[in-house]
Amino acid sequence: MDRKPYLALATTVGSAICWWPSFFWESYYPHDPILSITALAFVAVLTGLSTYLSGGLWVRYWLLSSVATFLGVLGGGYMWPSEDAEANSWLGIAAMIVTLAVLVVSLIACLTARFLVRLNRK
């Protein structure tokens, strides 16, 4: 049984949903950086683990996690809008900034996992 579609689904869904607590817990913990750092670390671990388990196919999971993060941040902002109207107007730019951070962090995680796969094959 091929597990690559399941890894792609887990990477996509996990990368999108992990940003949602930052939106619906905003009223309890406004501007809490721990939620964002935790979500970023979760995306990196999930992407790296998918790359490792797939045998080193890193580009697919790197792109999937980045696109899913962008859509997850936009979706979270639309499902749980902020009480501040000006903050809602910056949602698209915030989604791009978060996506750029995920691009960098998940690239590092993917290349590390790819290196470990190649190291274990020797």
Residue 38: give the domain boundaries.
4-86+95-121
Q: Which of 66, 71, 60, 77 is nearest to 104 (CA)?
A: 66
- For 1-24, the pLDDT digits (tens) are 688 889 999 999 999 999 888 887
- For 34-91, the pLDDT digits (tens) are 888 889 999 999 999 999 999 888 899 999 999 999 999 999 989 988 888 888 888 8
Question: What's the pTM?
Answer: 0.89
30-34, 42-46, 94-98, 99-103 — which is least confidently predicted? Answer: 30-34
Tokens of 14: 């996990």
Q: Which of 74, 63, 64 is nearest to 14 (CA)?
A: 64
**How many domains is the chain partitioned into structurally?**
1
Tell me how many degrees the CA angle 57-107-94 measures, rounded to the nearest 5.
130
Instruction: With beta carbons less than 8 A apart as the criterion, state whether 62 and 6 touch.
Output: no
Q: Which pLDDT band, with edges at 50, 70 and 90, does 31 fall under?
A: low
